[in-house]
């Protein structure tokens, strides 16, 4: 079963007060049993109208009792073992506190099995969590998250554990040399200044692992030749993972392309 039927029928009856009181105080009703094989020819989504239970209910009532209504209709969805594994996806809005940030989103498990008829199974790409709203978070979050139900589908498990690790930003500054690449053998680059300061924010957990060697300025000879100015706007070749709010001082430099004299014998 990927969508369970209701567990109770609600009936309205009419009779003498003493008879009705007996139903409340003394009489127990037997469960109405459904034989699964009787409804197999109705497809994966079975709907059984409440009126189909009238005879089984009347058999348990006093002959003088009039049956007014039966609610609700019964419906259920089932599959014959069709399933697939899908990732869990967080829904909501989460904001870290000032100078803090989330380093990861960790689900345990990070994927679940979904069982459903093939037509429903094909349309399900993710198992979405209930909406989570957090603001100003300054410490790691641990939360049990219910997955959003999809009619006709069953998630196993339907509850996952969520961890949102939090780290705090700290400031760091390096002096990084500038270098020219792809220069001809008889040419060299001089910049003024020859080094610049690179300031950035990084999580405290990664503070010691970041070095000046992680920041590289590659100044291409071809780019300088097309520059049309004696000043060059600096660009980092790459930024290390986890580094944010990078500032370069100065962010542009004067440069000179010098010719290297050839010495012969």
Backbone angles phi, psi at 7, to 5 degrees: -95, -10
pLDDT of residue 124: 95
pLDDT of residue 5: 83
Whether 176 and 196 have beta carbons less than 8 Å apart is answered as yes
DSSP assignments along 124-166, one per residue:
---EEBPPEEEEEE-S-EEEEEEBPP-TT-EEESSEEEEEE-E
Confidence (pTM):
0.60
> What's the residue count for the chain?
265
pLDDT of residue 238: 83
Q: Which domains does the chain have, with CATH numbers?
A: 10-77 (no CATH), 83-164 (2.170.120.40), 169-259 (2.170.120.30)
Given a cut of 50, the residues of the chain with pLDDT beneath it are: 265
Sign of CA dihedral 88, 89, 93, 96: positive
Backbone angles phi, psi at 104, to 5 degrees: -165, 165
Helix ranges (DSSP H) in the chain: 17-25, 54-58, 118-121, 221-225
pLDDT of residue 228: 79
For residue 160, how far is the Cα from the chain centroid? 12
Gap between the Cα atoms of 222 and 224, Å rounded: 5
pLDDT of residue 90: 96
Gap between the Cα atoms of 17 and 2, Å rounded: 42
At 115-170, the pLDDT tens digits run 998 889 999 999 999 999 999 999 999 999 999 999 889 999 999 999 999 999 99
What is the Cα Rg of the chain in Å?
Answer: 36
């Amino acid at each position: 079963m990927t969508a369970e039927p209701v567990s109770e029928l609600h009936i309205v009856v009419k009779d003498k007060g003493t008879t009705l009181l007996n139903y409340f105080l003394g009489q127990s009703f037997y469960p109405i049993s459904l034989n699964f094989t009787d409804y197999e020819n109705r497809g994966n989504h079975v709907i059984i109208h409440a009126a189909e239970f009238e005879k089984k209910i009347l058999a348990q009532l006093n002959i003088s009792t009039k049956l007014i209504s039966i609610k609700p209709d019964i419906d259920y969805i089932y599959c014959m073992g069709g399933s697939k594994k899908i990732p869990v996806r967080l829904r909501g809005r989460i904001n870290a506190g000032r100078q803090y940030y989330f380093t990861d989103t960790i689900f345990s498990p990070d994927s679940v099995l979904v069982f459903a008829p093939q037509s429903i199974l094909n349309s399900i790409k993710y198992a979405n969590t209930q909406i989570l709203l957090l603001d100003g978070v300054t410490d790691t979050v641990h939360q049990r998250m219910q997955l959003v139900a999809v009619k006709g589908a069953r998630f196993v498990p339907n509850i996952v554990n969520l961890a949102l690790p939090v780290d705090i930003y700290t400031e760091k500054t390096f002096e990084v040399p500038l270098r020219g690449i792809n220069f001809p053998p008889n040419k060299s680059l001089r910049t003024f200044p020859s080094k610049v300061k690179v300031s950035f924010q990084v999580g405290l957990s990664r503070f010691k692992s970041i070095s000046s060697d992680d920041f590289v300025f590659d100044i291409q000879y071809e780019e300088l030749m097309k520059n049309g100015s004696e000043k060059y706007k600096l660009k980092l070749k790459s930024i290390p993972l986890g580094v944010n709010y990078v500032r370069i001082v100065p962010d542009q430099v004067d440069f000179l392309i010098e010719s290297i004299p050839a010495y012969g014998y």
